[in-house]
Structure 1
Amino acid sequence: MLHNNISKLTSLLLFTFTFNKVLGDDAVTTTPANNNNNNNNNPQTTSDDNVVRLTLARQTTTPEAITNTLTQTTTSRIPTSQTAENSADEEVFKILLTMPSDDNYYNGMFGFGGNGNGNNGVQQIELRLDLIQPDVWVMNNASFYDCSYLSEWWDSEASYYGITLVTNSEGEESTEIDLPASITTMEQYTASNCARNGRYAETIPVDQQPQPTDDVFHNGDTRIIPYINLINAMGQINTNNFSFNITNGNLVRIDQFTFVNVNDTNMYVGGLGLAGNPSNSGFLYSLVDQGIIRSPGYSLWFNNQSDWQNALGQLIPGVVNKKYYNGDLVAYDMVQQQGTRYPPDLAGTDSELNELNLPIVSILDLVVENESTGQTMSMKSSDDPLPVLLDSRSFYTYLPLDIIINLAIQMNAYYSSEADRWLVECDVISNSTADLNFQFGGGLQVRIPLTEFITTAVYEGKTLNFEDGQQACFLAMSPTSKTGYNSLGLPFIRRIYLVVDNEGQKIAMANSNNYLQVDRQDLAPEVTRVTTLNQTAVSISLATASSTRTGGSNSSTSMTGSIAQIAFKQIPFATTYSQNSSDSSVIFSFTSVYANSDDGAENLDRIPARLSGAMIRSGSIYLTGVGGGSLTTTTTIPGRGATAASANPSSTRNIGVGSAGEIGGMMRGVFEKDIRIVMGIIGGIVLVVLM
């Protein structure tokens, strides 16, 4: 019989439940467990009953809920030099990144193999932008089925055997039809993963492949990709030709390129690793070897779109371009990581992980603010710098639980232990003018609308709504205990211009130039010639590139007045942030989070009771208002159609045991007696913050 929890069809082909239930990140198919040894302190409370109100005003109109869609920024009164690429910008060595139609992440197209004559024999495979590991890796054709093929296979079998899925009162899907062993023993049936965007077929036996140019690797050796997150990927070292288009149309080929042919992973798509590593291996180091770039660094720019048809990014190896950012570019020393991710028998992988150069930077403060009034409130419970990893394979943001709770209360979010997510009314957020202001050293502030941190709530195949019919969204944030470390995902990364100097262990950030209009149809036009990567290719792509590796030459890094190369400990145009003693002592700690060690639920005893009473039944959310005691408080809890201006500022409610049985409706504003500060209004609803 098919599994009685969730249908094999759903779990094998779509992994939708696992994806939404687990990370909200790149498609990790193993369930992370909760880390009960979280070192984050509980949010501080105060014995005072001081009331601080922050009005986060509604817009004058009420559009439909915006979930994961960035609004096109107007370009009025912006100089043309800031809105369009010129010929110098277009000729810089850049790689186009686009978003597939079935997920929220950025991929580039790469070719493997081939005989050097055009695209003959080249296997076109999409690789995912991967900032936190050093390898290029692909999914092995011999180990994974294509996801579209598996979908067709299951559709065929379901049709042949007349399989009808039945959903019980708990939302579990099952079928009473017994399938023959000839089906249940097939690899298609037992497959636990599949490949979405291309697979690699080994065309040359390992023992006949050219030897890797890096002595540290040998063809056929087993390689575990050193990931700090919950991604698992293991395979064998392979060497073959490697090719890709740059945005000016040239096809670039690197001969004898070493990569990992993965046969065991919990991902759908391979990776283009960009992390610095002591072995000086990987994509960026190959470009240094060929003289294309001076140092194994890169910069990243994304446009102001997040729908897959229009979203794009540009990976710019070795170069900084002032066109792609606004304001100051501020450089920081990378925060060093320290921790354990793998079991004791893989201590070598842990050692390698701790030696990687990763994009880790410290947040000084995280503030919710109303841009129209200037009112602000910090979400942090201490003044200590908060180190965070920038992870391009994560959509979710992972922060200490006290910050998540403070943000959840600001957004009127409720935790559901069933979905293992925070739920919020979509319109409350999408109709507000609230921003999250990420504050870093050197005065850098990155403001991101709260709408970027919500996503449509789907649970067990059903789009969720609150009992009164209002659409529900997931808060795309979870506590550090889910991963074992703090991180910022794509909602943050695509709002900044990011520069990484792997060799000098520097990272620089600025606000992205979202006024810049780049048409993806103008990038990577039809290829007119094939170029084997050599000194001639250097003259085509970067005429002034240095051809030396570590340390480079003493020649100038400047290419034009606004375009320059990254060199060892030199990020062009950046202002270096002078760290103080507290900054320099910060360590980015991470710890193991093993799959299935428990049910993955958050530490409910640390979540205020009034926030943890969301129950899901048949696609509807009921707020039970778990909690006891009574509290008389002065607050504003208007009806849904009310605006901040029409709210009654002194509505007194007696809230005690059972009063929140009024599921939904006005009683979403119930307060727990251990919550001391009334903080703000989003769309006319008074919310609470723990300090």
Structure 2
Amino acid sequence: MSNVAGFTDLRKVYDPNSIIVELYFGQSLQPIRCIAVTYDSDTYVTSDPSSCQNYDTCELLDLERANVDTTTDFSDFSRMISTGDTITGSYVNSILGIRLNDTIRTFNATFAVASSSDVPICVLGLGPKNGESTGVQIENGIVSPTYKSLPILLKSAGLIKSTSYSLFVADNSGSLAFGTVDHTKFEGSLQLVPIVDVSVDGELLEHIKAPLEIQVVLLGISLESNGTLYPVLQMESPALLAIGMQATYLPQKFLDELVGFYGLLYHDDLGGYLAPCDLPGSLVFNISGVPLTTALKDYLTETPLTFSDQQKACFLQLPPTGNIDYCALGNSLAMSNYIAVDLDALMIGVAPLKTQPDDGPSQIQSIPEAFRKAVPAPVLPANTYNKSDLVAIPLPRAKKTYTLNNGGKLQISSFYTIVCLITYMFIII
């Protein structure tokens, strides 16, 4: 059994390169489309009608219709996202359902309802249990109080063998499968990459026995262009697996080299860089010795702007990070690579997606069994980990810098709102 949870035309809702699943809330099983994310551990949904004011697509939880029990033993829920928007509400104990292989499975679950929100949002958090916002105490290495997330509920019900899932994004559609991998979706064998326990608070690391987030060790970033591989950044740094986030955050040192190599243009109004929409080349991430390739075209979002040479200008989803050496690998990673996560084993299995669809039957295997036969990464760090300094290797510089037609003026109310909210709205602080 494949336990496939979502296979949706992603251009219709949220970011066109996200995995959308339909969850069912409350006694009435009200259906709401939600974005599946690996960088958050909580599941939450908006009930505030005012959050829909600036959005054409808006689905809200109707507490009365859904008959949601609003009592809970947990604290209030809150989020602030990097646009400055706030999400506040409370945790509830109620029915949560998900469709698996045409059958709606329901559970007595805990999730959060945002009664005050600036954005209409529903998130299915797939992160570690210790990362839940309810966790405010640490005793004997255990974070408490926490609740059972959807993957944990599926395991507790005997539907999957471990707290695990696999996902990918391809051809404007995405798939999330709990507990299994499908060998017809990727090339070769899975390679195992460890999830590491990283915290800016050294004392916190000493007291927590499991990660708060899904982070991996990034050893370097290279640029592939015209058949030449250019090592650009040598490092030993944690990187957040941030599937569900359109933007990818990389150290500014790398971005500066990339911009100089291609002659990309910074746009003040957009707060980021513009590139030709047919930008060639690929980024290669060295994760624990495993190279993962992503095409630069997968980091581009169309704009109404054009360059002076009449090429269409696209917005580069690699935002400037300034002095913060922060790494978060967003949706573009899953557009080229199959990713399986086992939160019990604290391992991630990765492999390149097949370039041509396999017309044969699915080849489904449980994730624990698939991981036993997978290839371990060449570099296996300890579970606890501290970052090292970054070393940048200069790239050749472009002979020209792109310029825009007509001064590149933009109607902020249209494109800026779309791009910046899609890019940044799911960065949870």
- Range class of TM-score, shorter chain: 0.7 to 0.9
CA distance in 1, matches of 2:81, 2:207: 10
SS in 1 for 2:260: helix
1:139 is matched with which residue? 46
Q: Report deviation, 1:476.
A: 1.8
SS in 2 for 1:477: coil
CA distance in 2, matches of 1:384, 1:146: 41
Matched, 1:249 2:78: no
SS in 2 for 1:288: helix
CA distance in 2, matches of 1:282, 1:273: 8
State how many pairs are aligned. Answer: 381
Matched, 1:209 2:55: no
Question: Residues 500, 482 of structure 1: CA spacing in aligned structure 2 closer, same or farther, 3 A cutoff?
Answer: farther
Q: Is the 8 A contact 1:132 1:227 kept in 2?
A: no
Question: Residues 375, 209 of structure 1: CA spacing in aligned structure 2 closer, same or farther, 3 A cutoff?
Answer: closer
Matched, 1:107 2:20: yes
1:36-47 → structure 2 map (5 Å cutoff): none
Question: Which string of whole-angstrom CA distances, capped at 9 and with x for unpartnered residues, describes residues 293-351 of structure 1?
Answer: 22212111333x1xxxxx222211122333332123111221223138xxxxxxx9x99
Question: Residues 572, 406 of structure 1: CA spacing in aligned structure 2 closer, same or farther, 3 A cutoff?
Answer: same
Matched, 1:587 2:389: no
SS in 1 for 2:129: coil
1:199 is matched with which residue? 60
2:125 is matched with which residue? 273
1:421 is matched with which residue? 272
Over the residues paired in the alignment, what is the CA RMSD in angstroms?
4.0
Counterpart amino acid of residue 423 in structure 1 = L
Q: Is the 8 A contact 2:190 2:371 kept in 1?
A: no
Looking at CA atoms only, which structure, 1 or 2, has the larger radius of gyration? 1
Counterpart amino acid of residue 292 in structure 1 = L
1:450 is matched with which residue? 296
Question: Which string of whole-angstrom CA distances, capped at 9 and with x for unpartnered residues, describes residues 565-597 of structure 1?
Answer: 438xx834322225366x7774369xxxxxxxx
CA distance in 2, matches of 1:361, 1:446: 13
Q: Report deviation, 1:412.
A: 2.0
CA distance in 2, matches of 1:266, 1:329: 40
Question: Residues 252, 447 of structure 1: CA spacing in aligned structure 2 closer, same or farther, 3 A cutoff?
Answer: same
Q: Report deviation, 1:128.
A: 0.7
Q: Is the 8 A contact 2:25 2:66 kept in 1?
A: no
CA distance in 1, matches of 2:114, 2:207: 19
SS in 2 for 1:379: strand
Q: Report deviation, 1:272.
A: 0.3
Q: Report deviation, 1:425.
A: 3.1
CA distance in 2, matches of 1:440, 1:363: 5
Matched, 1:93 2:3: yes
Q: Report deviation, 1:287.
A: 1.1
1:122 to 16, 26, 29: 29
2:365 to 563, 568, 571: 563
Question: Residues 565, 324 of structure 1: CA spacing in aligned structure 2 closer, same or farther, 3 A cutoff?
Answer: same
1:186-585 → structure 2 map (5 Å cutoff): 196-203=57-64, 209=69, 218=73, 221-224=75-78, 232-246=86-100, 248-254=101-107, 256-278=108-130, 279=146, 281-303=148-170, 305=171, 311-339=172-200, 356-370=211-225, 374-380=227-233, 383-427=234-278, 429=279, 432=280, 434-442=281-289, 444-457=290-303, 463-481=304-322, 485-516=326-357, 563-566=365-368, 571-579=371-379
Counterpart amino acid of residue 106 in structure 1 = I
Question: Which string of whole-angstrom CA distances, capped at 9 and with x for unpartnered residues, describes residues 33-70 of structure 1?
Answer: xxxxxxxxxxxxxxxxxxxxxxxxxxxxxxxxxxxxxx
> TM-score, normalised on structure 2?
0.75
Counterpart amino acid of residue 326 in structure 2 = Y
Q: Is the 8 A contact 2:307 2:402 kept in 1?
A: no
> TM-score, normalised on structure 1?
0.49
CA distance in 2, matches of 1:495, 1:317: 20
1:637-676 → structure 2 map (5 Å cutoff): none
Q: Is the 8 A contact 1:331 1:509 kept in 2?
A: yes
Q: Report deviation, 1:401.
A: 0.9
CA distance in 1, matches of 2:258, 2:401: 14
CA distance in 1, matches of 2:39, 2:357: 27
1:547 is matched with which residue? none
Question: Residues 146, 228 of structure 1: CA spacing in aligned structure 2 closer, same or farther, 3 A cutoff?
Answer: closer
Q: Is the 8 A contact 1:418 1:616 kept in 2?
A: no
Question: Residues 614, 244 of structure 1: CA spacing in aligned structure 2 closer, same or farther, 3 A cutoff?
Answer: same
Question: Residues 493, 227 of structure 1: CA spacing in aligned structure 2 closer, same or farther, 3 A cutoff?
Answer: farther
CA distance in 2, matches of 1:145, 1:226: 17
Q: Is the 8 A contact 1:368 1:376 kept in 2?
A: yes
CA distance in 1, matches of 2:60, 2:114: 10
CA distance in 2, matches of 1:92, 1:448: 26
Question: Residues 425, 564 of structure 1: CA spacing in aligned structure 2 closer, same or farther, 3 A cutoff?
Answer: closer
2:139 is matched with which residue? none
SS in 2 for 1:326: coil
Q: Is the 8 A contact 1:274 1:284 kept in 2?
A: yes
SS in 2 for 1:472: strand
Question: Which string of whole-angstrom CA distances, capped at 9 and with x for unpartnered residues, describes residues 94-137 of structure 1?
Answer: 101421425323211111123xxxxxx33111111111121211
CA distance in 2, matches of 1:222, 1:204: 22
Q: Is the 8 A contact 1:338 1:588 kept in 2?
A: no
Tell me which protein shows more strand as a share of its residues. 2
5+ residue gaps, structure 1, are 1-90, 115-120, 152-193, 212-216, 306-310, 341-347, 458-462, 523-559, 590-607, 622-691
Counterpart amino acid of residue 305 in structure 2 = L
5+ residue gaps, structure 2, are 131-145, 389-396, 411-429
Q: Is the 8 A contact 1:226 1:353 kept in 2?
A: no
Question: Which string of whole-angstrom CA distances, capped at 9 and with x for unpartnered residues, describes residues 261-313 of structure 1?
Answer: 1123454321001111133521111112211122212111333x1xxxxx222
SS in 2 for 1:397: coil
Runs of 4+ in structure 1 over 6 Å off: 226-231, 350-355, 610-616
SS in 2 for 1:328: coil
CA distance in 1, matches of 2:328, 2:364: 31
Question: Residues 264, 130 of structure 1: CA spacing in aligned structure 2 closer, same or farther, 3 A cutoff?
Answer: farther
CA distance in 1, matches of 2:157, 2:92: 20
1:154 is matched with which residue? none
SS in 2 for 1:395: coil
Q: Is the 8 A contact 1:397 1:489 kept in 2?
A: yes
Question: Residues 494, 244 of structure 1: CA spacing in aligned structure 2 closer, same or farther, 3 A cutoff?
Answer: same
Q: Report deviation, 1:406.
A: 1.0
